[in-house]
Amino acid sequence: MPYQWADHQVFPAGEGGVLLGVDQGSLFLIDRETRELLARGQGSAPPDPAGLCAAEREIMEGLLDARILVSAGSGKRPAPEIDPALIPLTTMVLEVAQDCNLRCRYCYAEGGSYGGPARLLEPALARRAVERLVEESGDRERLTLILFGGEPLLNLAAVEAAAQAAQALSRDGGKRIFLSLTTNGTLLTPEAVALLKRHRIAVSVSMDGPAELHDANRVGVDGEGSYARIVSRLSGLFEAGSAPVAARVTLVPQQWSRVEEVFDHLLGLGFQEVGISPASPIHRALLADAEQEERLFESFAALAARFVREASLGRVLPFGNLIDLLARLHVGQTKSVACGAGLGYLAVDAGGSFYLCHRLTGEEEFRVGTLESGPDPRSIGSALKRLGAGREELCAGCWARTLCGGGCHYENHLRENRLGLPAGSSCGFIRRWLQLGIETYAELRAGGAEPLLQMLEKRAKC
Ligand code: SF4
Ligand code: SF4
Protein backbone atom coordinates (compact mmCIF):
# COMPACT_ATOMS: atom_id res chain seq x y z
CA MET A 1 0.00 0.00 0.00
CA PRO A 2 1.41 3.46 -0.86
CA TYR A 3 2.14 5.73 2.09
CA GLN A 4 2.67 9.40 2.75
CA TRP A 5 4.15 11.39 5.59
CA ALA A 6 1.76 12.78 8.15
CA ASP A 7 2.59 16.27 9.42
CA HIS A 8 5.57 15.94 11.73
CA GLN A 9 8.51 17.91 13.05
CA VAL A 10 11.87 16.82 14.43
CA PHE A 11 13.68 18.79 17.14
CA PRO A 12 17.16 18.27 18.52
CA ALA A 13 17.48 16.03 21.58
CA GLY A 14 20.51 13.95 22.50
CA GLU A 15 22.11 12.08 19.58
CA GLY A 16 18.83 11.53 17.78
CA GLY A 17 15.95 13.88 18.35
CA VAL A 18 12.39 14.24 19.47
CA LEU A 19 9.68 13.69 16.91
CA LEU A 20 6.34 15.49 17.11
CA GLY A 21 3.33 13.99 15.35
CA VAL A 22 1.47 17.24 14.76
CA ASP A 23 -2.15 16.04 14.54
CA GLN A 24 -2.02 13.83 17.64
CA GLY A 25 0.40 16.00 19.62
CA SER A 26 2.40 12.80 20.16
CA LEU A 27 6.10 12.90 21.04
CA PHE A 28 8.73 10.20 20.46
CA LEU A 29 12.39 10.09 21.35
CA ILE A 30 14.14 8.90 18.22
CA ASP A 31 17.64 7.64 17.47
CA ARG A 32 20.08 9.06 14.93
CA GLU A 33 19.14 6.49 12.25
CA THR A 34 15.45 7.41 12.45
CA ARG A 35 16.26 11.10 12.31
CA GLU A 36 18.40 10.55 9.21
CA LEU A 37 15.73 8.51 7.50
CA LEU A 38 13.14 11.17 8.24
CA ALA A 39 15.46 13.86 6.91
CA ARG A 40 15.93 11.90 3.67
CA GLY A 41 12.19 11.89 3.07
CA GLN A 42 11.67 15.56 3.84
CA GLY A 43 9.43 17.27 1.32
CA SER A 44 9.10 14.15 -0.80
CA ALA A 45 7.32 10.80 -0.82
CA PRO A 46 8.52 8.27 1.76
CA PRO A 47 11.28 5.98 0.46
CA ASP A 48 10.19 2.78 -1.26
CA PRO A 49 10.61 -0.07 1.29
CA ALA A 50 12.01 -2.27 -1.49
CA GLY A 51 15.07 -0.04 -1.62
CA LEU A 52 15.69 -0.09 2.15
CA CYS A 53 17.79 -2.40 4.26
CA ALA A 54 16.18 -4.50 7.04
CA ALA A 55 17.02 -1.96 9.80
CA GLU A 56 15.47 0.87 7.81
CA ARG A 57 12.34 -1.16 7.10
CA GLU A 58 12.02 -1.70 10.83
CA ILE A 59 12.22 2.05 11.38
CA MET A 60 9.51 2.58 8.75
CA GLU A 61 7.27 0.10 10.58
CA GLY A 62 7.79 2.02 13.80
CA LEU A 63 6.82 5.24 12.04
CA LEU A 64 3.70 3.55 10.70
CA ASP A 65 2.73 2.50 14.24
CA ALA A 66 3.35 6.05 15.42
CA ARG A 67 1.14 7.38 12.58
CA ILE A 68 3.96 9.47 11.21
CA LEU A 69 3.52 7.40 8.07
CA VAL A 70 -0.09 7.10 6.93
CA SER A 71 -1.91 5.63 3.95
CA ALA A 72 -1.66 7.83 0.88
CA GLY A 73 -4.71 10.02 0.44
CA SER A 74 -5.47 10.42 4.14
CA GLY A 75 -5.58 14.19 3.94
CA LYS A 76 -5.44 16.62 6.83
CA ARG A 77 -8.37 16.27 9.17
CA PRO A 78 -10.32 19.52 9.35
CA ALA A 79 -10.66 20.78 12.92
CA PRO A 80 -14.04 19.61 14.25
CA GLU A 81 -16.73 22.29 14.65
CA ILE A 82 -17.36 22.80 18.35
CA ASP A 83 -20.91 23.57 19.44
CA PRO A 84 -20.81 25.74 22.61
CA ALA A 85 -24.29 24.49 23.55
CA LEU A 86 -22.87 21.00 24.09
CA ILE A 87 -20.06 22.02 26.40
CA PRO A 88 -20.87 22.30 30.11
CA LEU A 89 -19.57 25.27 32.05
CA THR A 90 -16.80 24.16 34.42
CA THR A 91 -14.81 27.34 35.13
CA MET A 92 -16.18 30.74 36.03
CA VAL A 93 -14.16 33.90 36.64
CA LEU A 94 -16.29 36.03 38.94
CA GLU A 95 -15.38 39.71 39.01
CA VAL A 96 -16.42 40.52 42.56
CA ALA A 97 -14.91 44.01 42.29
CA GLN A 98 -14.66 46.08 39.14
CA ASP A 99 -12.55 48.49 41.10
CA CYS A 100 -9.00 48.59 42.36
CA ASN A 101 -6.84 50.49 44.82
CA LEU A 102 -3.84 50.28 42.44
CA ARG A 103 -3.24 51.80 39.02
CA CYS A 104 -0.70 49.44 37.46
CA ARG A 105 0.75 51.03 34.36
CA TYR A 106 0.20 47.94 32.18
CA CYS A 107 -3.30 47.09 33.48
CA TYR A 108 -5.51 45.73 30.69
CA ALA A 109 -8.55 46.30 32.96
CA GLU A 110 -8.05 50.08 32.99
CA GLY A 111 -7.46 50.33 36.72
CA GLY A 112 -9.75 47.39 37.49
CA SER A 113 -13.05 48.79 36.18
CA TYR A 114 -12.67 47.51 32.60
CA GLY A 115 -13.47 50.90 31.17
CA GLY A 116 -16.82 51.32 32.97
CA PRO A 117 -17.73 52.89 36.31
CA ALA A 118 -16.14 51.31 39.38
CA ARG A 119 -18.59 48.92 41.10
CA LEU A 120 -18.78 45.95 43.43
CA LEU A 121 -20.73 42.73 42.92
CA GLU A 122 -23.74 42.42 45.23
CA PRO A 123 -23.46 39.39 47.56
CA ALA A 124 -26.85 38.15 46.28
CA LEU A 125 -25.50 38.19 42.70
CA ALA A 126 -22.37 36.37 43.86
CA ARG A 127 -24.57 33.57 45.21
CA ARG A 128 -26.60 33.55 41.99
CA ALA A 129 -23.40 33.25 39.96
CA VAL A 130 -22.36 30.14 41.86
CA GLU A 131 -25.82 28.62 41.41
CA ARG A 132 -25.60 29.39 37.70
CA LEU A 133 -22.19 27.72 37.48
CA VAL A 134 -23.68 24.57 38.99
CA GLU A 135 -26.82 24.73 36.78
CA GLU A 136 -24.71 25.03 33.63
CA SER A 137 -22.21 22.33 34.60
CA GLY A 138 -24.20 19.31 33.37
CA ASP A 139 -22.59 16.07 34.49
CA ARG A 140 -19.22 17.63 35.36
CA GLU A 141 -18.29 17.13 39.00
CA ARG A 142 -15.12 19.23 39.32
CA LEU A 143 -15.80 22.94 38.93
CA THR A 144 -13.60 25.98 39.43
CA LEU A 145 -14.64 29.40 40.65
CA ILE A 146 -11.99 32.10 40.30
CA LEU A 147 -12.65 35.20 42.41
CA PHE A 148 -11.23 38.09 40.48
CA GLY A 149 -11.22 41.84 40.03
CA GLY A 150 -10.02 44.57 39.81
CA GLU A 151 -9.03 43.80 43.35
CA PRO A 152 -11.40 41.16 44.80
CA LEU A 153 -10.44 41.86 48.43
CA LEU A 154 -12.21 45.23 48.11
CA ASN A 155 -15.41 43.20 48.36
CA LEU A 156 -15.09 40.67 51.18
CA ALA A 157 -18.88 40.43 51.49
CA ALA A 158 -19.19 39.02 47.94
CA VAL A 159 -16.16 36.73 48.41
CA GLU A 160 -17.79 35.35 51.57
CA ALA A 161 -21.19 34.95 49.85
CA ALA A 162 -19.69 33.15 46.85
CA ALA A 163 -17.57 30.86 49.04
CA GLN A 164 -20.52 29.96 51.28
CA ALA A 165 -22.71 29.24 48.25
CA ALA A 166 -19.95 27.10 46.73
CA GLN A 167 -19.67 25.08 49.91
CA ALA A 168 -23.41 24.60 50.28
CA LEU A 169 -23.84 23.58 46.64
CA SER A 170 -20.84 21.25 46.78
CA ARG A 171 -22.33 19.56 49.82
CA ASP A 172 -25.88 19.26 48.46
CA GLY A 173 -25.30 19.04 44.71
CA GLY A 174 -22.66 16.34 44.38
CA LYS A 175 -20.15 18.80 42.89
CA ARG A 176 -16.65 19.76 44.00
CA ILE A 177 -16.10 23.48 43.56
CA PHE A 178 -12.47 24.53 43.76
CA LEU A 179 -12.05 28.17 44.80
CA SER A 180 -9.18 30.46 43.95
CA LEU A 181 -8.56 34.20 44.16
CA THR A 182 -6.08 36.53 42.51
CA THR A 183 -5.13 39.59 44.53
CA ASN A 184 -2.70 42.47 44.32
CA GLY A 185 -1.73 41.63 47.91
CA THR A 186 -2.16 45.07 49.44
CA LEU A 187 -5.40 44.21 51.26
CA LEU A 188 -4.38 40.90 52.82
CA THR A 189 -5.52 42.03 56.27
CA PRO A 190 -5.90 39.48 59.10
CA GLU A 191 -9.67 39.53 58.40
CA ALA A 192 -9.16 38.79 54.69
CA VAL A 193 -6.58 36.06 55.38
CA ALA A 194 -8.92 34.42 57.91
CA LEU A 195 -11.70 34.39 55.31
CA LEU A 196 -9.42 32.85 52.68
CA LYS A 197 -8.28 30.22 55.13
CA ARG A 198 -11.79 29.46 56.41
CA HIS A 199 -12.99 28.69 52.88
CA ARG A 200 -9.76 27.05 51.67
CA ILE A 201 -9.41 29.54 48.83
CA ALA A 202 -6.16 29.10 46.87
CA VAL A 203 -4.43 32.46 46.47
CA SER A 204 -2.25 33.98 43.76
CA VAL A 205 -0.59 37.30 44.46
CA SER A 206 0.42 39.64 41.64
CA MET A 207 4.01 40.72 42.28
CA ASP A 208 6.71 41.68 39.85
CA GLY A 209 9.90 40.91 41.76
CA PRO A 210 12.31 43.15 43.72
CA ALA A 211 11.03 46.57 44.85
CA GLU A 212 12.66 48.52 42.04
CA LEU A 213 11.12 46.34 39.30
CA HIS A 214 7.75 45.92 41.01
CA ASP A 215 7.33 49.59 41.85
CA ALA A 216 8.13 50.64 38.29
CA ASN A 217 4.59 49.64 37.31
CA ARG A 218 2.53 48.45 40.26
CA VAL A 219 1.63 51.79 41.78
CA GLY A 220 -1.25 53.15 43.84
CA VAL A 221 -3.64 55.93 42.86
CA ASP A 222 -1.05 58.34 44.29
CA GLY A 223 1.68 56.93 42.02
CA GLU A 224 3.55 55.35 44.97
CA GLY A 225 4.94 51.82 44.53
CA SER A 226 3.11 49.00 46.33
CA TYR A 227 6.01 46.60 47.06
CA ALA A 228 6.54 47.47 50.74
CA ARG A 229 2.80 47.33 51.48
CA ILE A 230 2.49 43.86 49.95
CA VAL A 231 5.58 42.42 51.61
CA SER A 232 4.30 43.55 55.02
CA ARG A 233 1.11 41.54 54.35
CA LEU A 234 2.66 38.36 52.98
CA SER A 235 3.82 36.76 56.23
CA GLY A 236 0.21 36.61 57.49
CA LEU A 237 -0.84 34.82 54.31
CA PHE A 238 2.08 32.38 54.33
CA GLU A 239 1.62 31.64 58.04
CA ALA A 240 -2.07 30.84 57.52
CA GLY A 241 -0.69 27.97 55.42
CA SER A 242 -4.06 26.92 53.99
CA ALA A 243 -2.74 26.25 50.46
CA PRO A 244 0.42 26.93 48.43
CA VAL A 245 0.60 30.57 47.37
CA ALA A 246 1.66 31.40 43.82
CA ALA A 247 3.09 34.65 42.48
CA ARG A 248 1.77 36.00 39.18
CA VAL A 249 4.34 38.21 37.52
CA THR A 250 3.78 40.66 34.69
CA LEU A 251 6.84 42.22 33.12
CA VAL A 252 7.16 44.95 30.52
CA PRO A 253 9.69 44.46 27.67
CA GLN A 254 12.34 46.68 29.36
CA GLN A 255 12.36 44.16 32.25
CA TRP A 256 12.56 40.94 30.27
CA SER A 257 16.31 40.54 30.73
CA ARG A 258 15.73 40.22 34.50
CA VAL A 259 13.31 37.30 34.60
CA GLU A 260 15.61 34.99 36.58
CA GLU A 261 16.27 37.66 39.19
CA VAL A 262 12.52 38.21 39.56
CA PHE A 263 11.90 34.47 39.83
CA ASP A 264 14.54 33.96 42.54
CA HIS A 265 13.42 37.01 44.49
CA LEU A 266 9.83 35.77 44.68
CA LEU A 267 10.86 32.27 45.76
CA GLY A 268 13.03 33.97 48.39
CA LEU A 269 9.96 35.83 49.69
CA GLY A 270 8.24 32.46 50.27
CA PHE A 271 6.05 31.93 47.18
CA GLN A 272 5.68 28.30 46.24
CA GLU A 273 5.26 28.79 42.52
CA VAL A 274 5.98 31.62 40.11
CA GLY A 275 4.24 32.22 36.77
CA ILE A 276 5.57 34.93 34.47
CA SER A 277 3.64 36.77 31.75
CA PRO A 278 4.78 39.45 29.37
CA ALA A 279 2.52 42.51 29.76
CA SER A 280 -0.18 42.68 27.09
CA PRO A 281 0.59 45.49 24.63
CA ILE A 282 -2.38 47.64 25.59
CA HIS A 283 -0.58 50.46 23.80
CA ARG A 284 2.28 50.54 21.34
CA ALA A 285 4.87 51.50 23.96
CA LEU A 286 4.46 48.00 25.39
CA LEU A 287 5.34 46.26 22.12
CA ALA A 288 8.70 44.51 22.36
CA ASP A 289 11.52 44.80 19.86
CA ALA A 290 13.46 41.77 18.59
CA GLU A 291 16.24 42.19 21.15
CA GLN A 292 13.84 42.34 24.09
CA GLU A 293 12.05 39.26 22.79
CA GLU A 294 15.39 37.49 22.57
CA ARG A 295 16.14 38.38 26.22
CA LEU A 296 12.78 36.94 27.28
CA PHE A 297 13.42 33.72 25.41
CA GLU A 298 16.94 33.41 26.83
CA SER A 299 15.56 33.89 30.36
CA PHE A 300 12.90 31.23 29.87
CA ALA A 301 15.54 28.90 28.38
CA ALA A 302 17.80 29.47 31.40
CA LEU A 303 14.92 28.58 33.75
CA ALA A 304 14.17 25.49 31.65
CA ALA A 305 17.83 24.39 31.98
CA ARG A 306 17.61 24.89 35.74
CA PHE A 307 14.38 22.88 35.74
CA VAL A 308 16.18 19.92 34.16
CA ARG A 309 19.10 20.17 36.62
CA GLU A 310 16.72 20.26 39.59
CA ALA A 311 14.76 17.30 38.19
CA SER A 312 17.96 15.25 38.04
CA LEU A 313 18.26 15.85 41.81
CA GLY A 314 14.66 14.80 42.38
CA ARG A 315 13.37 18.36 42.86
CA VAL A 316 10.85 20.51 40.99
CA LEU A 317 11.74 24.07 40.09
CA PRO A 318 8.39 25.84 40.61
CA PHE A 319 8.32 27.70 37.29
CA GLY A 320 4.57 27.63 36.59
CA ASN A 321 4.71 28.40 32.84
CA LEU A 322 6.97 25.43 32.14
CA ILE A 323 5.19 23.02 34.48
CA ASP A 324 1.89 23.73 32.71
CA LEU A 325 3.41 23.23 29.27
CA LEU A 326 5.24 20.04 30.26
CA ALA A 327 2.05 18.65 31.81
CA ARG A 328 0.19 19.16 28.53
CA LEU A 329 2.98 17.59 26.51
CA HIS A 330 3.16 14.67 28.90
CA VAL A 331 -0.49 13.70 28.45
CA GLY A 332 -0.52 14.57 24.72
CA GLN A 333 -3.18 17.24 25.14
CA THR A 334 -3.98 18.89 21.82
CA LYS A 335 -6.28 21.81 21.18
CA SER A 336 -8.16 23.28 18.27
CA VAL A 337 -8.64 26.58 20.16
CA ALA A 338 -6.15 28.25 22.46
CA CYS A 339 -8.24 28.12 25.62
CA GLY A 340 -11.66 27.25 26.96
CA ALA A 341 -13.14 30.77 26.56
CA GLY A 342 -16.81 30.23 25.74
CA LEU A 343 -16.24 26.48 25.74
CA GLY A 344 -16.48 25.52 29.40
CA TYR A 345 -15.05 28.77 30.69
CA LEU A 346 -16.76 32.16 31.05
CA ALA A 347 -16.38 35.36 33.05
CA VAL A 348 -19.15 37.17 34.96
CA ASP A 349 -18.78 40.88 35.59
CA ALA A 350 -19.88 42.82 38.67
CA GLY A 351 -23.22 43.63 37.02
CA GLY A 352 -24.05 39.97 36.34
CA SER A 353 -23.25 39.78 32.61
CA PHE A 354 -21.39 36.87 31.04
CA TYR A 355 -18.34 37.59 28.90
CA LEU A 356 -16.37 35.22 26.73
CA CYS A 357 -13.34 35.71 28.95
CA HIS A 358 -12.39 38.03 31.81
CA ARG A 359 -9.97 39.95 29.63
CA LEU A 360 -12.75 40.83 27.21
CA THR A 361 -15.01 42.19 29.98
CA GLY A 362 -16.74 45.44 29.07
CA GLU A 363 -16.56 44.86 25.31
CA GLU A 364 -20.18 44.66 24.20
CA GLU A 365 -19.46 42.37 21.25
CA PHE A 366 -18.16 39.73 23.67
CA ARG A 367 -21.04 39.94 26.15
CA VAL A 368 -22.71 36.55 25.85
CA GLY A 369 -25.56 36.45 28.37
CA THR A 370 -26.62 37.34 31.87
CA LEU A 371 -26.88 35.48 35.15
CA GLU A 372 -30.65 35.61 34.83
CA SER A 373 -30.99 34.22 31.32
CA GLY A 374 -27.79 32.15 31.35
CA PRO A 375 -25.00 32.10 28.77
CA ASP A 376 -26.28 32.17 25.20
CA PRO A 377 -24.58 29.53 23.01
CA ARG A 378 -25.44 31.42 19.81
CA SER A 379 -23.75 34.62 21.02
CA ILE A 380 -20.78 32.54 22.18
CA GLY A 381 -20.58 30.80 18.81
CA SER A 382 -20.66 34.04 16.81
CA ALA A 383 -18.14 35.77 19.13
CA LEU A 384 -15.76 32.82 18.71
CA LYS A 385 -16.26 32.91 14.93
CA ARG A 386 -15.36 36.60 14.82
CA LEU A 387 -12.25 36.02 16.92
CA GLY A 388 -11.21 32.99 14.85
CA ALA A 389 -11.75 34.66 11.45
CA GLY A 390 -8.71 34.07 9.23
CA ARG A 391 -6.99 31.96 11.89
CA GLU A 392 -7.50 28.62 10.15
CA GLU A 393 -5.65 29.85 7.10
CA LEU A 394 -2.85 31.32 9.21
CA CYS A 395 -2.41 28.19 11.30
CA ALA A 396 -3.03 25.45 8.72
CA GLY A 397 0.63 25.00 7.80
CA CYS A 398 2.09 25.64 11.25
CA TRP A 399 3.65 22.68 13.10
CA ALA A 400 2.55 24.20 16.42
CA ARG A 401 -1.15 24.37 15.59
CA THR A 402 -2.35 21.54 17.84
CA LEU A 403 -0.30 22.81 20.79
CA CYS A 404 -1.02 26.52 20.33
CA GLY A 405 -4.62 26.45 19.10
CA GLY A 406 -4.31 29.85 17.41
CA GLY A 407 -3.10 32.00 20.32
CA CYS A 408 -4.92 33.89 23.08
CA HIS A 409 -8.16 35.48 21.78
CA TYR A 410 -7.60 38.65 23.77
CA GLU A 411 -3.98 39.08 22.66
CA ASN A 412 -4.96 38.50 19.02
CA HIS A 413 -7.86 40.94 19.31
CA LEU A 414 -5.62 43.53 20.96
CA ARG A 415 -2.79 43.25 18.47
CA GLU A 416 -4.80 42.89 15.29
CA ASN A 417 -7.99 44.88 15.88
CA ARG A 418 -6.79 47.58 18.23
CA LEU A 419 -3.13 48.04 17.28
CA GLY A 420 -3.58 47.07 13.62
CA LEU A 421 -0.69 44.60 13.62
CA PRO A 422 -0.66 41.80 11.05
CA ALA A 423 -2.09 38.44 12.15
CA GLY A 424 0.60 36.19 13.57
CA SER A 425 2.91 38.90 14.90
CA SER A 426 3.59 36.89 18.06
CA CYS A 427 3.83 33.45 16.42
CA GLY A 428 7.63 33.38 16.30
CA PHE A 429 7.86 33.58 20.06
CA ILE A 430 5.00 31.09 20.59
CA ARG A 431 6.76 28.51 18.41
CA ARG A 432 10.13 29.01 20.13
CA TRP A 433 8.52 28.59 23.54
CA LEU A 434 6.70 25.42 22.48
CA GLN A 435 9.90 24.02 20.97
CA LEU A 436 11.74 24.78 24.22
CA GLY A 437 9.05 22.86 26.11
CA ILE A 438 9.32 19.88 23.75
CA GLU A 439 13.12 19.76 24.01
CA THR A 440 12.97 20.10 27.79
CA TYR A 441 10.40 17.32 27.99
CA ALA A 442 12.62 15.08 25.83
CA GLU A 443 15.56 15.72 28.14
CA LEU A 444 13.49 14.86 31.19
CA ARG A 445 12.21 11.66 29.57
CA ALA A 446 15.70 10.63 28.57
CA GLY A 447 16.85 11.14 32.16
CA GLY A 448 14.02 9.10 33.72
CA ALA A 449 12.66 11.54 36.36
CA GLU A 450 9.71 9.24 37.15
CA PRO A 451 8.29 11.14 40.20
CA LEU A 452 8.33 14.34 38.15
CA LEU A 453 6.41 12.70 35.33
CA GLN A 454 3.79 11.52 37.84
CA MET A 455 3.50 15.08 39.12
CA LEU A 456 2.97 16.31 35.53
CA GLU A 457 0.20 13.79 35.02
CA LYS A 458 -1.57 15.00 38.15
CA ARG A 459 -1.12 18.62 37.12
CA ALA A 460 -2.62 17.97 33.68
CA LYS A 461 -5.81 16.74 35.35
CA CYS A 462 -6.22 19.95 37.37
S1 SF4 B 1 -3.92 45.34 40.68
FE2 SF4 B 1 -4.72 44.34 38.84
S3 SF4 B 1 -6.71 45.32 38.42
FE4 SF4 B 1 -5.58 46.63 39.88
S5 SF4 B 1 -4.57 48.13 38.57
FE6 SF4 B 1 -3.11 46.46 38.95
S7 SF4 B 1 -3.37 45.06 37.20
FE8 SF4 B 1 -5.17 46.43 37.25
S1 SF4 C 1 1.99 29.83 16.36
FE2 SF4 C 1 0.75 31.24 15.12
S3 SF4 C 1 0.42 30.18 13.17
FE4 SF4 C 1 1.11 28.65 14.68
S5 SF4 C 1 -0.77 27.80 15.53
FE6 SF4 C 1 -0.14 29.48 16.89
S7 SF4 C 1 -1.26 31.29 16.11
FE8 SF4 C 1 -1.33 29.72 14.51
**The domain that contains 292 carries what CATH number?**
3.20.20.70
Assess whether 54 and 119 both reside in one domain: no
Tell me how far apart the alpha carbons of residues 252 and 283 are, in angstroms, rounded to a whole number. 12
The neighbouring-strand residues paired with 374 are: 370
Assess whether 200 and 317 both reside in one domain: yes
Please name which ligand lies nearest the alpha carbon of 185: 1
Assess whether 173 and 293 both reside in one domain: yes
Ligand 1 pocket check for 149: Cβ under 6 Å: yes
Ligand 2 pocket check for 460: Cβ under 6 Å: no
**Cβ atoms of 63 and 121 closer than 8 Å:** no
Domain count, the chain: 2
- Choose among 307, 215, 302, 305: nearest CA to 255: 215
Among residues 364, 387, 402, the one where a domain terminates is: 364
Ligand 2 pocket check for 52: Cβ under 6 Å: no
pLDDT of residue 75: 64
Assess whether 163 and 301 both reside in one domain: yes
Assess whether 116 and 195 both reside in one domain: yes
pLDDT of residue 1: 63
Ligand 2 pocket check for 427: Cβ under 6 Å: yes
Q: Give residue 253's domain range.
A: 88-364
Assess whether 157 and 60 both reside in one domain: no
pTM to 2 decimals? 0.94
Assess whether 345 and 232 both reside in one domain: yes
434 CA: nearest ligand 2 atom: 1
**The domain that contains 66 carries what CATH number?**
3.90.930
Tell me how far apart the alpha carbons of residues 96 and 88 are, in angstroms, rounded to a whole number. 23
- Judge whether 411 lies within some domain: no
- Judge whether 134 lies within some domain: yes
Q: Which of 402, 427, 429, 433 to mutate to test the pocket of ligand 2 (most atoms within 8 A of CB)?
A: 427
Q: Name which residue sits closest to atom 7 of ligand 1, judged by CA.
A: 107
Tell me how far apart the alpha carbons of residues 40 and 44 are, in angstroms, rounded to a whole number. 8
C-alpha dihedral (148, 221, 230, 295), degrees to nearest 10:
80
Among residues 74, 101, 119, the one where a domain terminates is: 74
Assess whether 173 and 128 both reside in one domain: yes
- Choose among 23, 3, 21: nearest CA to 73: 3
Among residues 364, 395, 425, the one where a domain terminates is: 364
Tell me how far apart the alpha carbons of residues 384 and 185 are, in angstroms, rounded to a whole number. 34
pLDDT of residue 76: 65
Q: Which of 99, 107, 230, 349 to mutate to test the pocket of ligand 1 (most atoms within 8 A of CB)?
A: 107
Assess whether 118 and 184 both reside in one domain: yes
Bridge-based pairing of strands 119-120 and 97-98 is antiparallel
- Choose among 212, 206, 130, 207: nearest CA to 173: 130
pLDDT of residue 121: 98
Assess whether 66 and 169 both reside in one domain: no
Ligand 2 pocket check for 335: Cβ under 6 Å: no
405 CA: nearest ligand 2 atom: 5
Assess whether 293 and 213 both reside in one domain: yes
Assess whether 156 and 190 both reside in one domain: yes
Spans in the chain with pLDDT lower than 50: none
Say how many Å lie between the first and final Cα of the chain, rounded.
43
pLDDT of residue 78: 64
